[in-house]
Structure 1
Amino acid sequence: MIVRNYIDGMFRESPSTFKKLSPVDGRVVALVHEANAGDVNDAVMAARAASDGAWGGMSQRERSGLLGKVASLIEARFDDFVEAELADTGRPRAAAQEFDVPRTADTFRLFAGLAGSYPGQSWQTEAPGILAINYELRRPAGVVAAIAPWNMPMVLLAFKIAPALAVGNGVVAKPSEEAPSTASIMAEIFDEAGLPAGAFNLVNGFGVDSAGAFLTSHQGVNRISFTGETRTGQHVMRSASAMVRPVSLELGGKNPTIVFEDADIAAAIAGTARAAFYNCGQVCLCTERVYVHRSRYDEFVAGLKAAAEKLVIGAPDDAGVQMGPLISRKHRDRVLSYLEIARQDGTIITGGGVPVFGDVRDEGAFVQPTIVTDIPETSRFVTEEVFGPVCHVAPFDDEDEAVALATGSDYGLVSVIWSGNTSRALRVAGRMRSGVVWVNGWLIRDLRTPFGGVGLSGIGKEGGYASLDFYTDQTNVCVKL
């Protein structure tokens, strides 16, 4: 596949290109044109013209109608999106078919509808001899830089660009260099749907000294929405602060799960296995720290070990495959370095290495699901985000200890609580230091609800009206009566 930049309604090639390699077998799956500073500048200027002109000036009904058409066109090109997603990420085919593509289409429909019903506020203001009406006016922020990660590339890009477009902004999107293909197809769809030139722009490249840095430091950008690892997010924040630009950062997580003695232990085991190993652990919401009441600890560990060892690892179309590769061999080596730390500091009870297939898959980026026990909470394996199919399991004796362990991290994205006692579950949920708390479940997401973490997990909220708030400027208009 050839992946080009898309600027001001036209696909554009660049002098510099790079290769995207399959995480399954190492073959080249895409040749990507890398945007230079001039390309990024042109994209920002095109987005500005669209927001100030045809796109921003369009009625909300028309904009929402076009985004509804985008959703339908995504569904019409279902197979193209699936194949591109599998080539870039190596996810099991069922995951792309059942989640990635439908969720992306649903996201555009959702924000097309929410923008049409976006509530404003008004107040009657009274003072001696004065009567006035104060109301809020919302307008597009202008140019939005949307920087998406590689772990769920099309879903997470849509979560940024759908609300930004819905309220009339011009968008410049930069997908991850590890997963650029679905964004290119999305550009084709925006063109086919009839969005004005410049409403959506696509620039490809890397971070430092490439498209990412050029975009986040551009003076013409009004909002920056970034999802990725914390260190890169800190660089983005520095660029935004220099320009005094609002920024939304959805960063890393070191997410805890607490399993109380009164939990449905079978459900907790199955739920934790999914939370730890889904998408090869490459979801910011995945669990990496598990704390189990001592009375159920041995039973839980044995059950989780059995669940991990039953997982079928392989390529997207392998029979019964449940877990694919990591995104790249570079990331695989990073995860393996953390497993070496775990081996030195604790006990690996299952996994801990690279599966051997005896075929081309051995050139890929596969890692076994891994469970670690008997490891100090101070170990780097426990304190730092690994972003792989790994977790450590430790016992606790009472509620206060469980809360202290769960909240003893600089990250605060999501938490999971398993308990048969609703009162206790809700009490503990209120003590968690995280943006989301799931009780007796995991990854139950409603896109209308605000999502975002605290601490090193980021700044700001995405989802529902919170997204629309971020992508608009607010003006208070006062009318004296």
Structure 2
Amino acid sequence: MTTETTADPEIRRIRHLIGGGRSEPVTGETFETRDPHDNSLLGTVARGTAEDATRAIEAARAAFDDGPWPRMTPKERQKILHAVADNVESHLEELAMLETRDSGKIITQARHADIPRTAYNLRFFADYAAMAGNEAYPDGDLLSYTLYPPAGVVSAISPWNAPLMLASWKLAPALAFGNTAILKPAPQTPLTASRFGELALEAGLPEGVLNIVHGFGGDEVAGPLTTDPRVDRITFTGSTATGVRILRAAAPNLTPVSAELGGKSANIVFDDADLDVAVPESIRGIFAGNGQMCFAGSRLFVQRGILPEFLARFTAAAEEIVVGDPKDPATTLGPLIEQRHLDKVGGYVELARDEGGTVVSGGHRIREPGLAEGFYYAPTVISGLGNDSRTAQEEIFGPVETVIGFDTEEEALRLANANPYGLAGLLFTTDLDRAHRMVSRWKAGTVWVNCYLVRDLRLPFGGEGRSGIGREGGQYSREFFTEPRAVTLRIRPGR
């Protein structure tokens, strides 16, 4: 199965994947996906409706109720998912370039992080499902044990900031534990999801096990995916506002939801930190992924004894960031996803000025030759704000850092927790006792100490507060994507 193209081979024609075949939208309507580097047209995409989503649910339901996938052993599914991972790796360069052109992600990150991590997600969960143990409790003539049958049909709604990697973070465990799935990729970034569906079928994934429906939220595609009683699980990554709507939609059917939502994570640097580590990791903590990272350390708290030195070094490092065409390996910061988001980011910087903040560096759209048609915003460093300012409290989701001073450990912890989000945190200190004290009281789903973006997939991932509900990863994914069943058997005495 190959991707359709229009008369211009650079412009792709993206259709749904339903029941193992390419499917036209019921209405025949399409929308465009464009390159955020120069706003050029990349493809025309099927605009799904509630009817398209319902057809996908029916295909996934049939594949679960009557197909082989849920009835395979974990080792049989493991073999197929490894084949899918092999296919991803053998098409790494193609997928990386699609991701870069569709999302603006720099090619080095797509090539060396996101696409390899997609393959690793598949391998990890395929192996985890095949090797996971079950509890058994013998007690005299009673034997009690646990089964983990698949939950059923999974709706997976993925975001645009790490399109294929986060889609695979949902699909890999859902499929490994025997479910069937419908993926709704973000409308801004459909290309890699569409290609992934083709590669999965080529690798031997049975028809109907993975369905992909393109389109928008609200009452369109997302409507049936969150309200249909034939859907057994919903996994979502995106904004808190959308997550709340999904939880409300799922409530009448009591459909379990795992939702990883927004973030405004604190990054705390103590005066005993190794600045040769803290500065570059803090730069990554806000500017990686073009600043469009849900767990970005976007509230940077620095102990006042080192604040002048840290701010000078941090600002200098921010000004060394190479903003440019994401297809160029020399680029370290690419464009934002679209004009509307560019306007939002710029609006928050203007708000920071109105709130009394000082823009130490950046603070403007980039209109240099070759970049003027794209959605580029300069790496921005802001000082002089309080933690209660809107700029420091609300999620900007862009390359904008607020730097705030603090005096004591207790103050740093209070500032970190004084925010409705609780997705992640960063901590830089050489005091091991302090690190343990801080992380035990920090309201965040993940805390990195003297590092950033290091992930062991056995650990839980998710957030507290307005950053979401539920956890995924390792055993936490198994609990969500299965229906744990207790069995107690009385053993009859011998005759």
TM-score (norm 1): 0.97
Deviation of the 1:319 alpha carbon: 5.9
Deviation of the 1:177 alpha carbon: 0.4
SS at match of 1:168: coil
Matched, 1:51 2:64: yes
Deviation of the 1:22 alpha carbon: 1.1
CA distance in 1, matches of 2:103, 2:217: 19
Matched, 1:25 2:38: yes
Tell me which of 16, 20, 27 is aligned to 1:9: 20
Matched, 1:36 2:49: yes
SS at match of 1:434: coil
Aligned twin of 2:363: 352
SS at match of 1:284: coil
Aligned twin of 1:372: 382
Contact 1:255 / 1:286 at 8 angstroms: preserved in 2? yes
Which residue identity is paired with 1:154?
L
For residues 287-335 of structure 1, give each alpha carbon's deviation from its aligned partner in whole angstroms, at most 9, with x where no partner exists.
1101111100111111111011110001123362100001111111111
Tell me which of 91, 104, 122 is aligned to 1:108: 122
Aligned twin of 1:320: 330
Contact 1:125 / 1:132 at 8 angstroms: preserved in 2? yes
Matched, 1:234 2:244: yes
- The ranges of structure 1 where at least 4 consecutive aligned residues each deviate by more than 6 angstroms after the TM superposition are none
Aligned twin of 2:229: 219
Deviation of the 1:383 alpha carbon: 0.9
RMSD (Å) for aligned C-alpha atoms: 1.1
CA distance in 2, matches of 1:190, 1:221: 22
CA distance in 2, matches of 1:239, 1:118: 33
Tell me which of 276, 291, 294 is aligned to 2:286: 276
Aligned twin of 1:83: 97
Deviation of the 1:266 alpha carbon: 2.4
Contact 1:285 / 1:443 at 8 angstroms: preserved in 2? no
Matched, 1:448 2:461: no
CA distance in 2, matches of 1:149, 1:248: 14
For residues 365-388 of structure 1, give each alpha carbon's deviation from its aligned partner in whole angstroms, at most 9, with x where no partner exists.
110111111112222111110000
Contact 1:91 / 1:315 at 8 angstroms: preserved in 2? no
Deviation of the 1:124 alpha carbon: 2.4
SS at match of 1:195: coil
Aligned twin of 2:296: 286
SS at match of 1:437: strand
Aligned twin of 1:332: 342
Deviation of the 1:49 alpha carbon: 1.5
For residues 4-33 of structure 1, give each alpha carbon's deviation from its aligned partner in whole angstroms, at most 9, with x where no partner exists.
100000111111100011110011111110
SS at match of 1:85: helix
CA distance in 1, matches of 2:187, 2:35: 12
SS at match of 1:135: strand
Tell me which of 125, 132, 135 is aligned to 1:118: 132
Aligned twin of 2:439: 429
Deviation of the 1:209 alpha carbon: 2.4
SS at match of 2:234: strand
When residues 134 and 319 of structure 1 are mapped into structure 2, their CA distance, relative to the original with a 3 A threshold, is: closer
Aligned twin of 2:3: none
SS at match of 1:226: strand
Q: Which moved more, 1:313-322 or 1:448-457?
A: 313-322
CA distance in 1, matches of 2:407, 2:145: 54
For residues 199-241 of structure 1, give each alpha carbon's deviation from its aligned partner in whole angstroms, at most 9, with x where no partner exists.
0000001111221223112221000000001000000111111
CA distance in 1, matches of 2:97, 2:281: 28
For residues 27-48 of structure 1, give each alpha carbon's deviation from its aligned partner in whole angstroms, at most 9, with x where no partner exists.
1111110122221111111111
Which residue identity is paired with 1:191?
L
Unaligned runs of 5+ in 2: 1-11
When residues 318 and 68 of structure 1 are mapped into structure 2, their CA distance, relative to the original with a 3 A threshold, is: closer
Identity of aligned residues (%): 41
For residues 438-465 of structure 1, give each alpha carbon's deviation from its aligned partner in whole angstroms, at most 9, with x where no partner exists.
1101111112211111000001111112
Unaligned runs of 5+ in 1: none
Aligned twin of 2:149: 139
SS at match of 1:123: strand
Which residue identity is paired with 1:16?
E
Matched, 1:158 2:172: no
Which residue identity is paired with 2:154?
V
Which residue identity is paired with 2:366?
P
For residues 379-438 of structure 1, give each alpha carbon's deviation from its aligned partner in whole angstroms, at most 9, with x where no partner exists.
211111000001111111111001001110100011111001111111111111001111
Matched, 1:95 2:105: no
Which residue identity is paired with 2:320?
K
CA distance in 2, matches of 1:312, 1:154: 25
Contact 1:75 / 1:105 at 8 angstroms: preserved in 2? yes
Aligned twin of 1:479: 489
CA distance in 2, matches of 1:73, 1:17: 28
SS at match of 1:235: helix
Aligned twin of 2:198: 188
Tell me which of 351, 355, 358 is aligned to 1:341: 351
What count of residue pairs does the alignment treat as equivalent? 476
Deviation of the 1:475 alpha carbon: 1.2
For residues 118-166 of structure 1, give each alpha carbon's deviation from its aligned partner in whole angstroms, at most 9, with x where no partner exists.
221111245xxxx311111111100000010000000000000011001
